[in-house]
Amino acid sequence: MLHDLRLECGGRIAQIDHLLINRFLEIYVCESKRFSEGVAINEQGEFAAFFGSKPYGIASPLEQNRRHMAVLAAVFKTGQVAPPKRLGFTITPSLHGLVLVSKTARISRPNAKIEGIEMVIKNDQLKAKIDRDIDKDNNILGAAKLIGQDTLEDFARRLAAVHEPIRFDWAAKFGLPAVAPAPVSLVKAAAKEQPVAAPTVTAEPTVPQEASGNDKKSKLACSICGTVVAYNVAKFCWFNKPRFGGKVFCMECQKAVPTP
Ligand SMILES: [Zn+2]
């Protein structure tokens, strides 16, 4: 099981919360959502999370998984990570997307059948779900796909090795030029000719002290879906206090927060 895997292939990025691989080379791409106040899925397959009892439309985690699986498929197809071979034949991994919701969260499902909705499960149902899927697929073809534990571990290690650490583009986020602004003296000199808008240096907002352990985790949890975000993402929200009210939102849920 790999956690927080960030893959990049052909300019597309997949940030995968958890990834499980078994010896049938079935890969489960898991998107983990806490949804502390529950989640509702409507007949159109649209997702809404609740925050302060108010519903907020959020990006479909099923769609997120589909995008992640497409990047993963490309990683295998391009040979960035070559899938294992058995008897000289490359085995193509089968990809499955799962949305893991915390077991205490309420999930309201629509009456209509939405494609992929069975992939939205409580996190304590994960093992049962995967075991069931394997039983369903336990035919001769499936058995032929079986790879050794060593091969599986090697494959998982190679996949983990292409993990791309996040490079957060602060300059773009704040609309600043990508290059460092010219030294002040030069800016002043240029200002005589034509006014140059020097980037205003604002004081650092008060960022909550870095705490340890669970306390730190809870500070970094998205206020809507509960996903624990990277420190940089949380910092971005704290910087934008007028918009986010000092609360933390993951990049997906930020889109749901109305601009004041
Ligand atoms: Zn969120």
Burial code of 128-159, b = ≥16 C-beta within 10 A, e = fewer?
Answer: ebbeebeeeeeeeebeebebeeebbeebbeeb
Exposed, middle or buried by CB within 10 Å (0-12, 13-18, 19+), for 35? buried
Share of the chain above pLDDT 90, in %: 28
Sheet containing 94-101: order of strands: 2-9, 12-21, 26-33, 94-101, 120-122
Please tell me the distance between residue 169's alpha carbon and the centre of ligand 1 in angstroms.
20
Please tell me the distance between residue 54's alpha carbon and the centre of ligand 1 in angstroms.
14
Give the span between the Cα atoms of 203 and 60, in whole angstroms: 36
More confident residue, 152 or 210: 152
Mean pLDDT along residues 79-93: 88
Residue type, 152: L
Q: Give me the residues near ligand 1 (ion), CB cutoff below 5 Å.
A: 222, 224-225, 227, 250, 253
Please tell me the distance between residue 103's alpha carbon and the centre of ligand 1 in angstroms.
17
Q: What is the mean pLDDT of the chain?
A: 79
What does the angle CA 254 – CA 4 – CA 153 come to, to the nearest 5 degrees? 160
Please tell me the distance between residue 40's alpha carbon and the centre of ligand 1 in angstroms.
14
Largest Cα–Cα separation, the chain:
80
Chain segment 137-172, per-residue pLDDT in tens: 655 555 555 788 888 889 999 998 888 776 655 555
Please tell me the distance between residue 225's alpha carbon and the centre of ligand 1 in angstroms.
4
Please tell me the distance between residue 244's alpha carbon and the centre of ligand 1 in angstroms.
12
Closest residue by Cα to residue 8 from 81, 84, 66, 62: 81
CA 24, chain centre distance (Å): 25
Please tell me the distance between residue 228's alpha carbon and the centre of ligand 1 in angstroms.
8
Closest residue by Cα to residue 252 from 33, 1, 7, 4: 33
Chain segment 20-75, per-residue pLDDT in tens: 998 888 899 999 888 888 999 999 999 999 888 889 999 899 999 999 999 999 99
Residue type, 254: Q
